[in-house]
Structure 1
């Protein structure tokens, strides 16, 4: 696999092409990025802005992808962050961040890993910034910064769970 090429602009050189004018090697282009849904809750403000110590963080990560009739793919990254103390919910952020991708030169067996590992890896820094900005705008300083996420490990764990069958999912 190859890393994603950034969106083309005047400062970005065009990717290497083969003789037919198509980019060389497998990869993808991102055609659009968007916030589908964003929710920020600070239910105990202003008291939540003055807590002692660090709150417990519960992080949820989901990746979903689907093909479209036009041959493009929609990839969604759902991030949920809930910060709590023994006494209160400090904040709760839910973000559904998406991208529209065009794949090229990707073998059929590599499409799913490309969509659920590489594409979310590209979307993550933008989603991370949105969450940081939401917590900052909510009055938290420093803003909450998500640690990097290993999308390959999440994908592999999901594949192992599927291989074990529906009974393993209930555990």
Structure 2
């Protein structure tokens, strides 16, 4: 094993995990239904983009299903966006989330899930199981309505 010489240890990057909030727990929205989650997520969506390009967001929740924050995982093209599961869970771990509600929009207005939608839902659910972070729902949103994987028994 080679020993560090000449203070080369100073060339190692420091990693700092910080989650800062100015919102008291009592003031955080409490998610009790897919409809309420949809209303929260839709309010955070740029109305100029919801029918233009596909985006993927995650609602981070504590153990009591109170909202810790919302994180935009990716923004893509007209028909798809790439979801890096590692970045999604990096945000969840940083916030100390116990649960997730993932959401993405379909600019076409069709809320039915595609096969890639089903695949990413399963992938995120499995990753969450390993980390003890429960995937509570996956919403496909449009400006007028939504599809809930949980409500449809597809989760």
Using structure 1 for the length normalisation, give the TM-score: 0.29
Instruction: Return the structure number with greater strand share.
Output: 1
Structure whose alpha-carbon radius of gyration is higher: 1
